[in-house]
Amino acid sequence: MAADRGTYRVGRSLAASSRPVGFVVVALSYIVAGLAAWAVVATVRGPHPLLLTFYADLVATLVVFAASVVVANASVYDPYWSVAPAVIVIAWVLWSAGGDLGEVTGRQAAVLVLVLAWSIRLTANWAASWRGLSHEDWRYVQLREQRPARLPWWLINLTGIQLMPTLVVFAGLLAVWPAVTVTGRPWGLLDFAAVAVTAAAVVIETVADRQLHRFAGDPANRGRIIDRGLWRYSRHPNYLGEITFWWGMWLFGVAAAPGWWWTVVGPIVMVLLFAFVSVPMMDRRSLARRPAYAQHMRRVPALLPRPRGNGG
């Protein structure tokens, strides 16, 4: 499959480069993407700041896509899911506070801290598992191998791997806009609920990933199915944590501006993405590699835990 990774000579040569070189390539790509997004914000006049952010987000995504084509590795986009929201939320908070950190409200600070905690953790998790430009996510390899012959790979890469997640994440961020820019409502019970839900989501993701890494790193578990810790109650607790995080963001938005309730479309889209795309893909792969996984699927729910009997 290496020859099919891309048509660019630089992509084929970089695939054999060291892991640090891969991180440098990704970092430079994101710096250029950030500068391109900043150029959009600095030069385009007229649109609502939320719409302007959307334009900048799309431009940054296109830059990352271009980098992924040049180096022949769609996984260059992977950290964008967690990096872009942090940058966007920081920009929104600073814009709302007029650049004065002393004007940041309690709700803005809570959202910012939780988003940064989520972003840093998720990005670090990606960095720990990414082996460099020689490593491309198995899902992308599968998409490339199984795509219809008439569909060019670059189009699937652009739309399915890069633009689609950018749109999904921006839908999730819609509720964050009122949470960090509408400052007229005082802190209330819904804010406490939002903090609890979002913090719990970050903890769930952190614990689930640590348990998975520890399990996978033990040679004695080779070929076995993880069914301990959080994974005993959910087949994909890391996905459950991710979905919960975006519901927490929505609660913050409604707490700040109840009229923005319609931004519930964000967490709903997240549920649909994970329930009908991510979970089925992971389950099919596990079934193909471990026949006993079928029994595991009957015993353990995909996302939400359910009450278990005494023998469960």
How many whole angstroms separate alpha carbon 231 and alpha carbon 211?
8
The identity of residue 205, as a single letter, is E
Q: Which of 149, 173, 197 is the last residue of a domain?
A: 173
What lies within 8 Å, CB to CB, of 116 at 6+ separation is 86
DSSP state of 150: T
Q: Do 205 and 157 lie in a common domain?
A: no
Q: Is the distance from CB of 157 to CB of 148 less than 8 angstroms?
A: no
160: pLDDT confidence band, cut at 50, 70 and 90? very high
- Per residue in 258-283, pLDDT tens? 999 999 999 999 999 999 999 999 99
Q: Do 156 and 204 lie in a common domain?
A: no
Cα–Cα nearest to 265, from 194, 154, 168, 189: 168
Residue 159 pLDDT exceeds 80: yes
Q: Which two tokens stand for residue 187?
A: 């802190």
Cα–Cα nearest to 236, from 291, 268, 293, 279: 279
- Biggest CA pair distance of the chain: 64
Confirm whether 134 is domain-assigned: no
**Helices 80-96, 106-129: crossing angle, 10 deg rounding:** 160
Count Cβ atoms below 10 Å from residue 190 Cβ, excluding itself: 16
Q: Do 110 and 41 lie in a common domain?
A: no
Q: Do 223 and 145 lie in a common domain?
A: no
Q: Do 263 and 166 lie in a common domain?
A: no
Q: Do 145 and 244 lie in a common domain?
A: no
Cα–Cα nearest to 179, from 288, 294, 96, 279: 96
Cα–Cα nearest to 175, from 114, 249, 226, 243: 249
Residue 158 pLDDT exceeds 70: yes
- Per residue in 170-191, pLDDT tens? 999 999 999 999 988 999 999 9
Mean predicted confidence (pLDDT) in 88-111: 92
Confirm whether 245 is domain-assigned: yes
Share above pLDDT 90 across residues of the chain, in percent, rounded to a whole number: 79
Element (H, E) at 20: helix 19-43
Q: Do 275 and 150 lie in a common domain?
A: no
Q: Is the distance from CB of 97 to CB of 104 less than 8 angstroms?
A: yes
Domain total in the chain: 2
More confident residue, 13 or 38: 38
Confirm whether 311 is domain-assigned: no
Q: Do 159 and 259 lie in a common domain?
A: no
- Per residue in 179-232, pLDDT tens? 999 988 999 999 999 999 999 999 999 999 999 999 999 999 988 999 999 999
Confirm whether 85 is domain-assigned: no
Cα–Cα nearest to 128, from 55, 216, 69: 216
Q: Do 167 and 196 lie in a common domain?
A: no
Residue 6 pLDDT exceeds 50: no
Where b means 16+ CB within 10 Å and e means fewer, 173-188 reads bbbbbbbbbbbeeeee
Residue 61 pLDDT exceeds 90: yes
Q: Do 74 and 208 lie in a common domain?
A: no
Confirm whether 64 is domain-assigned: yes
Confirm whether 66 is domain-assigned: yes
pLDDT at residue number 103: 86
Q: Which two tokens stand for residue 245?
A: 């995080």
Confirm whether 221 is domain-assigned: yes
Q: Is the distance from CB of 30 to CB of 49 less than 8 angstroms?
A: no
Q: Do 258 and 230 lie in a common domain?
A: yes
Q: Do 67 and 160 lie in a common domain?
A: yes
HSE-CB at 6 with a 13 A cutoff on CA atoms is 25
Q: Is the distance from CB of 81 to CB of 122 less than 8 angstroms?
A: yes
φ, ψ for residue 216, nearest 5 deg: -70, -25
Which residues span the domain enclosing 147?
Answer: 1-78+141-173
Confirm whether 312 is domain-assigned: no
Residue 255 pLDDT exceeds 60: yes
What lies within 8 Å, CB to CB, of 81 at 6+ separation is 122, 165, 169
